[in-house]
Amino acid sequence: MNKLTSLMFFARKINRQHIQLALVILSLAMLVVGVGAPTDGGGGW
């Protein structure tokens, strides 16, 4: 039973780190898309 609880704790820790990594990558991708987005002003550039 002790091995099962330690394994569940390890799996939960890995899942939390994976979720945090995915959120960081998503926020960086949104930042890059936001920087490269065209302006609404119209002006040719």
What's the pTM?
A: 0.52
Long-range pairs of 5-10 with CB within 8 A, sequence gap ≥ 24: none
Cα 44 versus chain centre, distance: 34
The 3-state secondary structure of 1-45, one letter per residue: CHHHHHHHHHHHHHHHHHHHHHHHHHHHHHHHHHHCCCCCCCCCC
In order along its 45 residues, the chain shows pLDDT tens digits of 677 787 777 776 777 888 899 999 999 999 988 887 666 665 555
